[in-house]
């Protein structure tokens, strides 16, 4: 029978790798909580119109990459390609706009985009994101960037470059759009078919095109910074002042627009040189018009998202050390039926006290059990046989040092083991 494999652009996370994911996710949740963000979990699929209305019909995401299908009820649904739209929908649907402002939400979620699968670009990937509603001041922009910056510091990720820009508000962007349209119209013979379709509808999207020829043309395009209105210019200046105040270094990149249509004013990206072509690991910015666009009242809002797979790739490239995975604390080996039952009882009781304990479950010989204990990196072993059962005494062996400690099998074994284990702690690196 033919073996079935995972779909292209997806991957399995095996136990050997899961510990890294758990460590990174724990740091993310911890950083979110100390910044005042609460967790939100939204469905994996949504009404297709949600993404068409929010992400933008001229974006690559909507035009080329969404997993959209008709369900059995004839409704068009889409696997979410990003986390912001669903968060805004939930914010409105559940009346979170009535909560004290700002409302701060974070999520860790799978996302789906039909793209050419390659390193750092999967069809099923995972995002960690943070969204803030009701905060209009530039200090909120700087605070969100500082949140992401602190997260990378806690994870010991180095050599990231923070790039920032302002793409203005709808008022000042109108003049910029005219200038862009004129610039690209004069060079339309060098644009790809997708960008030609964007020329009249949304020429800013051409700045985000991945086609090398379009990217080359875009290098000479007008700069948005020359078209900012006084309010947007002042806002961007104060964002920079706040970043300067806390010592966060950045580069102003006037060509950066981000890949989604809902952004306004501040946009930013954290870029790594350790990812090859897929250099952006985190991006975000303001989307002050999105809540109103989705049916709510005018609400300033901003957020960011980062790709967990890309982050782990960077950490691997930089050889960031992770805490040692939790291994078996005590392996209870046994010889004979009565000893096997007692080993199972002990292991069960120790697990109930929070000790990672194991016993023989496949019928190995004593020698094979001890080899197995070594393979699963058991920190301690205890051998039970007729003599140990009769005397009520046993010996716990430290598998690293070889040190042996006598224990009373009829007394408080978990307490005795806790004392032995505490004395042998080796101070593993933790985040």
Tens digit of each residue's pLDDT (9 = 90 or more) over 112-156: 988 776 666 788 899 999 999 999 999 999 999 999 999 999 999
pLDDT averaged over every residue in the chain: 89
pLDDT digits (tens, 9 = 90+) for 245-279: 999 999 999 888 776 678 899 999 999 887 765 58
- Model pLDDT, residue 132: 98
What pLDDT, on the 0 to 100 scale, is given for residue 111? Answer: 93
Tokens of 275: 């990812």
pLDDT at 260: 66
Q: Comparing C-alpha atoms, which of 265, 303, 312 is closest to residue 284? A: 303
Q: Is the peptide bond before 228 cis (omega within 30 degrees of 0)?
A: no
Is 330-421 in CATH node 3.40.50.800?
yes
| Distance in angstroms between the alpha carbons of the first and the last residue of the chain | 46
Calculate the alpha carbon distances from 59 to 64, 87, 253 in Å: 8, 19, 20
> Bridge-partner residues for 330, per DSSP?
357, 380
Q: For 364-386, what is the mean pLDDT?
A: 94
More confident residue, 177 or 422: 177
Closest CA to 150 of 36, 251, 34: 34
- The rounded distance, in Å, linking the Cα atoms of 360 and 341 is 10
How far apart, in whole angstroms, are the C-alpha atoms of residue 187 and residue 214?
A: 10
Lowest mean pLDDT among 46-60, 87-101, 349-363, 383-397: 46-60
Q: How far is CA 105 from CA 38, 194, 238, 264, 295, in A?
A: 5, 35, 24, 19, 19
Other C-beta atoms closer than 10 Å to the C-beta of 352 total 10
pLDDT, one tens digit per residue, over 312-361 is: 999 999 999 888 777 899 999 999 999 999 999 999 998 988 889 999 99
Predicted local distance difference test score (pLDDT) of residue 7: 87
Indicate whether 86 pLDDT > 60.
Answer: yes
Least confident range from 39-48, 80-89, 414-423: namely: 414-423
Domains 15-169+229-317 and 330-421 are alike in CATH topology: no
- C-alpha dihedral (29, 270, 292, 95), degrees to nearest 10: 0
Decide: 306 and 272 in contact? Cβ < 8 Å. Answer: no
CATH match for 15-169+229-317 among 3.40.50.20, 3.40.50.1970, 3.30.930.10, 3.40.50.300: 3.30.930.10
* Percent of the chain surpassing pLDDT 70: 93
Q: The dihedral of CA 109, 110, 115, 121: what is its sign?
A: positive
The residue ranges of every structural domain in the chain are 15-169+229-317, 330-421
Q: Which helix (H) or strand (E) holds 221?
A: none
pTM more than 0.75 = yes
Confidence class for position 428, pLDDT limits 50, 70, 90? very low
Q: What percent of the chain has pLDDT over 90?
A: 60
Over residues 181-237, the pLDDT tens digits come to: 999 998 888 989 888 888 888 888 888 787 888 888 888 889 889 999 999 999 999
Tell whether the model's pLDDT for residue 58 goes beyond 70: no
Q: What is the per-residue burial (b if ≥16 Cβ within 10 Å, else e) of 372-391? A: bbeeeebbbbbbbeeebbee
């Amino acid at each position: 029978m033919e073996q079935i494999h995972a779909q292209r652009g997806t991957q399995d996370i095996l136990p050997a790798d899961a510990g890294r994911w758990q460590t990174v996710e724990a740091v993310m949740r911890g950083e979110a909580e100390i910044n005042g963000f609460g967790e939100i979990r939204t469905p994996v699929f949504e009404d297709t119109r949600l993404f068409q209305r929010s992400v933008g019909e001229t974006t690559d995401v909507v035009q080329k990459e969404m997993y959209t299908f008709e369900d059995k009820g004839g409704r068009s649904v889409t696997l979410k390609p990003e986390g912001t739209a669903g968060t805004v929908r939930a914010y409105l649907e559940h009346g979170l706009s009535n909560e004290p402002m700002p409302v701060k939400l974070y999520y860790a979620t799978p996302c789906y985009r039909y793209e050419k699968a390659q390193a750092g670009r999967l069809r099923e990937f995972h995002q960690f994101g943070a969204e803030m509603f009701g905060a209009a001041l530039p200090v909120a922009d700087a605070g969100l960037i500082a949140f992401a910056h602190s997260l990378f510091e806690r994870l010991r990720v180095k050599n990231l470059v923070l790039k920032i820009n302002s793409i203005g508000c709808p008022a000042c962007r109108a003049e910029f759009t005219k200038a862009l349209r004129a610039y690209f119209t004069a060079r339309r013979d060098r644009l790809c078919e997708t960008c030609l379709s964007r020329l009249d509808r949304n020429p800013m999207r051409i700045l985000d095109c991945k086609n090398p020829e379009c990217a080359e043309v875009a290098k000479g395009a007008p700069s948005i910074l020359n078209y900012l209105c006084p309010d947007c210019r002042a806002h961007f200046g104060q964002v920079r002042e706040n970043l300067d105040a806390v010592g966060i270094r950045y580069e102003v990149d006037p060509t950066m627009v981000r890949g989604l249509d809902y952004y306004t004013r501040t946009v930013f990206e954290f870029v790594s040189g350790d990812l090859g072509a897929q250099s952006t690991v985190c991006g975000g910015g303001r989307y002050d018009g999105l809540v109103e666009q989705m049916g709510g009242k005018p609400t300033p809002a901003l957020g960011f998202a980062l790709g967990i797979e890309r982050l782990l790739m960077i950490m691997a490239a930089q050889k960031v050390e992770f805490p040692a995975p939790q291994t078996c604390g005590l392996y209870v080996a046994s010889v004979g039926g009565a000893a096997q039952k007692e080993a199972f009882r002990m292991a069960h009781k120790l697990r109930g006290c929070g000790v990672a304990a194991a016993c023989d479950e496949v019928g190995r010989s004593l020698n094979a059990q001890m080899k197995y204990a070594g393979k699963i990196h058991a920190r301690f072993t205890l051998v039970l046989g007729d003599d140990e059962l009769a005397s009520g005494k046993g010996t716990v062996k430290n598998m690293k040092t070889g040190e042996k400690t006598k224990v009373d099998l009829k007394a408080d074994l978990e307490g005795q083991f806790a004392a032995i284990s505490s004395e042998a702690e080796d101070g593993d690196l933790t985040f």
